[in-house]
Amino acid sequence: MQINRTASAHWTGGLKDGKGLISTQSGALKDYPYGFASRFEGVPGTNPEELIGAAHAGCFTMALSLILGEAGFTAEHMETSAKVTLESVEGGFAITAIHLSLSGRIPGADEATFTELANKAKAGCPISKALAAVPITLDVKLA
């Protein structure tokens, strides 16, 4: 089975004065603004690191749901946030770390089991695999 998804970016202007628009095949994002100011200065709009974080949090949480089910558990709820760190390094900018923070209510699971299964999901989710060049850390809290 092969699944292909597309997204696109449109850009006009220079780096600092330019403006970009991001769109996704699904329409979830349609000409959504991004640019230097939203990436580096906290101005409203999105940025590539935020989008990577959203994709990673979503993929990881879905993978964990599968792994929990295989272990006989069903999540009552789970919340995952992903902090993607962009830093100036020798040669330019790089994503230097991703930290996933997970909390969830899993009836019948103890913290050790939840942490073990979450680490398995972190290692196996497709987005984690795609981002393997970046150190990915995880903290887990059973609610």
CA distance 138 to 119: 8
Q: How many domains does the chain have?
A: 2
Taking residues 119-134, report their average pLDDT: 97
pTM beyond 0.75, yes or no: yes
- Whether residue 2 lies inside any domain: the answer is no
Both 130 and 81 in a single domain?
yes
Both 29 and 96 in a single domain?
no
Instruction: State the chain's mean pLDDT as an integer.
Output: 96
Both 88 and 133 in a single domain?
yes
Share of the chain above pLDDT 90, in %: 97
Residue 24: closest CA among 44, 9, 12, 46: 9
Both 94 and 121 in a single domain?
yes
Taking residues 126-137, report their average pLDDT: 97
Taking residues 103-121, report their average pLDDT: 97
Both 34 and 57 in a single domain?
no
Asked if residues 72 and 103 have their Cβ atoms less than 8 Å apart, the reply is: no
Full domain range(s) for residue 36: 7-41
The rounded radius of gyration (Å) of the Cα atoms in the chain is: 17
Taking residues 65-88, report their average pLDDT: 97
